[in-house]
Amino acid sequence: MKWEDDAIVLSTRPHGEAAVVAQLLTRDHGRHAGLVRGGQNARLKGILQAGNLVRVVWSGRLAEHLGSFQCELVKSYAAAVMDDPDRLAALASATAVCEGSLPEREPQASCYNGLIALFDALDGEHWAEVYVRWEIGLLAALGFGLDLTRCAGGGDNDQLGYVSPKSGRAVSLSAGGPYRERLLPLPTFLVGRGQGGKGEVADGLALTGYFLGRHIFHPHDRAMPKARQRLAERFVEAAQDQPNADQRTSSEQGL
C-alpha cells in the first residue's frame, strides 16, 4: 500500500531511539499518523516542525497499519513566525486543535485548505481575527456550525451582540439584554461591524472555545489543548493591558 499527498505537520512524538511518530493533516487522506525513521536527527526535526507544509509518501503492508512516512519540506510556516510569539502561539494552537478534533483517516479537504489559508494569513495585520473565523469554520466542517446571521429571539438582526450557548445562534442586543449574563458576547467583527482588536479577539476565542469544548473535547473526556489555552490567555492579558475600544458599548448605549 502506498500513496503520496501534501500535508501539514501537526505533531511528532519520539519512537525508540531515532524514529518519531508524526501526525499529519493531509489534503486527501485526512489526519494520518505514520512512522518517520530517523525523525529525531537534526535535518528531519527541521522538516517535521508543527505547522510545516510537506510532500509526503506513506507506505505500509496493509491500509490499516501505522505505516511509514517519507517527508520533503515544501514550505516552513513555522520558521516564518518563529520570531513573533503571538503568531507562533496561533500556529501551535491551530495544529493542536486539528490534532485533537479531526477524526483519523477521514478526508477533510476543507479543513486542510482552511488551515493553509490561516497560515498564509499570519503574515497579515488582522491574522488574529482570521484565526477566530478559522475556528468557526472548523466547527462548521465538523457539523457544529454557529448561526451568526439572524437573531434567535426575533430581535433586530442589525444589532446582533450575543450568542446562545445552547443553540449556537446569534441574539440581538435588545432581545438578549435581559439575559446577558447567560449569553456569550458576539464580537462585532464577526457580523461585519468593526475590524476587531485584542478585546474582540479575546471574546471570539472565548466563543469558539466554548463550543469546541462542548461539542468536541468534553464529550471525549479531553481537555482543551494547552496550546489553545495559552493563545486565549495571551489575548485576555493583552486586552486587559490595552483596553480595546469596543463598538458593542456604543451600540448598547444607543438602544
* pLDDT at site 157: 64
* pLDDT at site 255: 33
Mark the ranges of the chain whose per-residue pLDDT is less than 50: 244-255
Domain residue limits, the chain:
2-80, 85-253
Report pLDDT digits (tens) over 133-165.
Answer: 999 999 999 999 999 988 887 766 668 999 999
Q: How many CA atoms lie within 13 A of 42 on its CB side?
A: 0
Report pLDDT digits (tens) over 210-242.
Answer: 999 999 999 999 999 999 999 999 999 999 887
Q: How many CA atoms lie within 13 A of 150 on its CB side?
A: 2
Q: Which helix (H) or strand (E) holds 128?
A: helix 127-141
SS3 call for 245: coil
Stated pTM of the model: 0.90
Strand runs labelled E in 51-150: 53-59, 68-75
* pLDDT at site 235: 96
Tell me if 2-80 shares its fold with 85-253: no
* pLDDT at site 7: 98
Q: Which three cell numbers stand for residue 13?
A: 512524538
Taking the C-alpha atoms of residue 114 and residue 53, their distance in angstroms, rounded to an integer, is 13
Contact between 96 and 226 under an 8 Å Cβ cutoff? The reply is yes
CA torsion through residues 167, 173, 179, 183, sign: positive
Closest CA to 162 of 207, 130, 95: 207
* pLDDT at site 246: 45
Return the residue matching grid coordinates 505547522. 51
Taking the C-alpha atoms of residue 198 and residue 211, their distance in angstroms, rounded to an integer, is 20
* Domain covering 2-80 assigned CATH 2.40.50.140 in the classification: yes
Distances (CA, A) of 119 to 51, 52, 93, 99, 207: 8, 10, 12, 16, 21
Phi, psi of 71 (to 5 degrees): -120, 140
CATH of domain 85-253: 1.20.1440.120
Residues near 106 by beta carbon (within 8 Å), at least 6 away in sequence:
30, 31
